[in-house]
Structure 1
Amino acid sequence: MPVETIVRLAARGDGVTESGRFFPLTAPGDSVTETGEVAPGPHHQAPPCRHFPECGGCQLQHVDDATYADFLKDRIASALAQQGLSAPDILDPHLSPPRSRRRTSLKAAGGLIGFNAEASHRIVDMRECHILRPELFALVAPLRRLLKGRAGVTMTLADQGVDLMLEGVSVEGLEATEAMIAFARDQKLARLALDDGYGPQTLWEPEPVTITLSGTPVALPHGAFLQATAEGEAALVAAVREAVGDAAIIADLFAGLGTFALALSGKVYAAEGARDAVLALKGAGRGIFADHRDLFRRPLDVAELDRFEAVVLDPPRAGAKELAPHLAASTVPRLAYVSCNPNTFARDARELVDGGYRLLWVKPVGQFRWSTHVELAAAFVRP
């Protein structure tokens, strides 16, 4: 019977043949028949986790690192091509190692706890995990015993240990409260917060919880954004530093807790829409001017931008559609754009290039190992 070869991976991780047919759970170099039988090729590896492919936490455990790196690069190049932009120098991707993710959100119900199955609300009961930091995975079994009803579980590895927030959980009465505090103490949690629908309430925090960014401890608000892995954060910081060069006056837009602001020398203006993050950054003691500003409703205008020698921006998945036209019309010499969505990045890149910027290079970053989630840092300059 006719045999085709998988030549690439599509955006959702399916293998694609030269004729354009899609086959799930295949890798480039695999051979497939008309009936869908697969003969593994040189880039097909044995998935390390028993839950693959049922668990929705990973889609690409069956491909080797070289293929996964090519997938990240291809996603970026394809997104740029859809905007009519030729691919710049796409650097070798950073791949965070297994068991390195320091923050996660899980679901619990009926004695089960884990990620949802792919494209489903069904919980895959987690008995092993090859992406989470061991400190986080160690809490899965105790939480399975603790949680009886439905709950959301958010864990972040802070300087002091695991910061745990339970959503949809409330405690009533002294005995229940003491039992929950005893759990926090026994598990040596850095903090335990409960959110019963009215916002997180801290139940246990022996000392103020912090996260160290570029050597500076910063207060960690409930639910604050943090790069998924320390290794991925370091790769993005290094790329941003290279992109801004020796600029002495820098704007860090969508600054969060200061992942990039705290890594930069010179004078830094940091704008962020989350009030708790701004207060944490102001308390870091580094002389950064932190501004509580909604950059979607009130983006910096051209006159404000022209004061800076470089701009760093790290918008959410929606990108920086409101800000990009102002940047495109500005005279800022250097831009460092960090993105978690190649498509909105490419859309904004089109605006910047049309405004006279040149896209120098893109650094892909695979923090969510074995997933189809792509992050990047890019450098733009005015010729």
Structure 2
Amino acid sequence: MSKEIMQLQVTSLGHRGDGIAETADGPVFVPGALPGETVSAQVAGGRANHIRIEQPSPERIEPICRHFDACGGCSVQQLAPGAYLDWKRKLVEKALSDRGIDAAVEAVVPGAAGTRRRAVLTAVRAGRHVLLGYHEKASHRLVDIRECPVLVPEIVAALAGLKRLAEPLMPKKGELRVTVLSTTAGLDVTFDQANRNYEQKIAQLSQLAVELDLARLSVNGETLLEVRPPALDMDGTAVVPPPGGFTQATLAAETALCALVMEGLGMPKKVADLFAGSGTFALRVAKSASVHAVEGDAAAIKALENALRIPKGLKQVTMERRDLFRRPLMAEELNAFDAVVFDPPRAGAQAQAEQLALSAVPHIAAVSCNPATLARDLRILIDGGYELQTVTPVDQFVFSPHIEVVANLSRK
């Protein structure tokens, strides 16, 4: 392993936010470097370390967070906004191109700092102290954050209090997972992988939750205290998601995604919402069409069912709990619908896409947080006779390599 200092010319930005320098021995990944920069660094195993920027890019800007150099929560704060959004759009273009899909990708719908309402943090014990934050870049060590510019101010203000809550819950070994959601009623906090003896401390935990004015506190899947229902306003319908359950990370992105989906569905009378979660799309669509919401998670379906108990002038919404990875809706079932929207986890929806490709559904809106698996599923649909109408990235996860995408298709 060479300790020799090399000079590298960075030519591109990789899909994880590292600069890439091409050398005679192959590509070298240069964390923190930008295209057009000259750096000196030690290189081992195709990765640079002890990096010094010799000639900075004109697109380089000052990161906005004191933790940026170490924290692995963000990877690209040092890139100017225009170049940053262009990089994210190119991530989607490359994913499509890798699957042989030649499609125009729309400009990225930008996100903003200070708007992320959902955070997944980690707590660990370090001696007598508890650290709370994100893992360091390419490390198992934890950055004890004092600020996080991507999060809504309500979560940032609660960081010290969350440490106090974490203290009696810390497992003897390993890490404690902390999910925080900012709702209309306050913070909804969920701890997972907590010490099993937490039941002996319920009174203490409940008192702390009241002092911190939390809406709800849950531990290892059990709700310990609910002072107020932690509801999200989904276009006029109050939905209380399950503890630690999936929600769109920012309200602005949720609004943008829903607008793009509605545009792609046309004017349907009957819609299937697959991987429906707690009803992010179903509740919007139900204002003008009947909806069949299909979701594998029982708690998410229950949350949607509870939200619909109070009449809100919506069209009919039916619900089905079904594992769409193992039992996708078949083509014959899908043919009963005028349009379909699907928003699967990062693994994508290959089995479901294969059935959609065999169906006669006129319009499909595909939503994904993983351009690679989305491109795979779109390839299946295109090969099955669908035409890709629009592809629009939405920057829900600012300063990270993650990008949300909505692709709208119509049958030829």
Q: Shorter-normalised TM-score: what interval?
A: over 0.9
Are 2:375 and 1:346 equivalent residues in the alignment? yes
Counterparts of 2:266 and 2:298 in 1: how far apart (Å)?
29
SS of the residue corresponding to residue 120 of structure 2 reads: strand
- Label 1:143 to 1:283 Cα distance change in 2 as closer, same or farther (>3 A): closer
Answer yes or no: is the 8 Å Cα contact 1:273–1:292 preserved in 2: yes
Instruction: State which drifts further: 130-139 or 146-155.
Output: 146-155
Matches of residues 4-15 of structure 1 in structure 2 within 5 Å? Answer: 6-15=10-19
Counterparts of 2:242 and 2:374 in 1: how far apart (Å)?
28
Counterparts of 1:51 and 1:33 in 2: how far apart (Å)?
23
Equivalent in the alignment of 2:153: 134
Tell me by how many angstroms 1:177 deviates: 2.9
Answer yes or no: is the 8 Å Cα contact 2:104–2:390 preserved in 1: yes
Which protein has greater RCO, CA pairs closer than 8 Å, 6+ apart?
1
Which one of 119, 122, 126 corresponds to residue 107 of structure 1?
122
Answer yes or no: is the 8 Å Cα contact 2:37–2:53 preserved in 1: no
Aligned length: 376
**Corresponding letter in the other structure for 2:208:** F
Tell me by how many angstroms 1:310 deviates: 0.8
Counterparts of 1:18 and 1:248 in 2: how far apart (Å)?
53
- Label 1:290 to 1:62 Cα distance change in 2 as closer, same or farther (>3 A): same
The one-character-per-residue Cα deviations of 1:134-153 (angstroms, maximum 9, x if unpaired) are 11111211222343334221
Equivalent in the alignment of 1:374: 403
Counterparts of 1:3 and 1:53 in 2: how far apart (Å)?
21
Equivalent in the alignment of 2:228: 207
Identity of aligned residues (%): 42
Which one of 29, 47, 51 corresponds to residue 67 of structure 2?
51
Answer yes or no: is the 8 Å Cα contact 1:99–1:132 preserved in 2: yes
Equivalent in the alignment of 1:328: 357
Equivalent in the alignment of 1:236: 257
Counterparts of 1:223 and 1:230 in 2: how far apart (Å)?
17
Instruction: State which drifts further: 201-210 or 360-369.
Output: 201-210
Are 2:330 and 1:301 equivalent residues in the alignment? yes
Matches of residues 3-152 of structure 1 in structure 2 within 5 Å? Answer: 6-17=10-21, 22-32=29-39, 37-86=53-102, 88-110=103-125, 111-148=130-167, 149-150=170-171, 151-152=176-177
The one-character-per-residue Cα deviations of 1:82-133 (angstroms, maximum 9, x if unpaired) are 11111x2211112221011111111112221111112222110001111111
- Label 1:34 to 1:223 Cα distance change in 2 as closer, same or farther (>3 A): closer
Unaligned runs of 5+ in 2: 1-5, 43-51, 309-313
- TM-score, with structure 1 as normaliser: 0.92
Are 2:195 and 1:179 equivalent residues in the alignment? no
- Label 1:331 to 1:57 Cα distance change in 2 as closer, same or farther (>3 A): same
Tell me by how many angstroms 1:172 deviates: 4.6
Which one of 253, 260, 263 corresponds to residue 274 of structure 2?
253
Indicate the RMSD between aligned Cα atoms, in angstroms. Answer: 2.1
Tell me by how many angstroms 1:33 deviates: 6.1
SS of the residue corresponding to residue 231 of structure 1 reads: helix
Answer yes or no: is the 8 Å Cα contact 1:255–1:270 preserved in 2: yes
SS of the residue corresponding to residue 259 of structure 1 reads: coil
Tell me by how many angstroms 1:223 deviates: 2.0
**Corresponding letter in the other structure for 1:171:** Y
Which one of 340, 345, 354 corresponds to residue 316 of structure 1?
345
SS of the residue corresponding to residue 327 of structure 2 reads: coil
SS of the residue corresponding to residue 66 of structure 1 reads: helix
SS of the residue corresponding to residue 94 of structure 1 reads: coil
Tell me by how many angstroms 1:18 deviates: 7.2
Counterparts of 1:32 and 1:178 in 2: how far apart (Å)?
56
Unaligned runs of 5+ in 1: none
- TM-score, with structure 2 as normaliser: 0.86
**Corresponding letter in the other structure for 1:232:** A
- Label 1:342 to 1:172 Cα distance change in 2 as closer, same or farther (>3 A): closer
Equivalent in the alignment of 2:184: 159
The one-character-per-residue Cα deviations of 1:207-249 (angstroms, maximum 9, x if unpaired) are 3332221210012211211001111111111110111121121
Answer yes or no: is the 8 Å Cα contact 2:206–2:224 preserved in 1: yes
Answer yes or no: is the 8 Å Cα contact 2:99–2:375 preserved in 1: yes
Instruction: State which drifts further: 100-109 or 23-32.
Output: 23-32
The one-character-per-residue Cα deviations of 1:316-368 (angstroms, maximum 9, x if unpaired) are 11111111111111111111000011111111111111111111111111111
Equivalent in the alignment of 2:307: 284
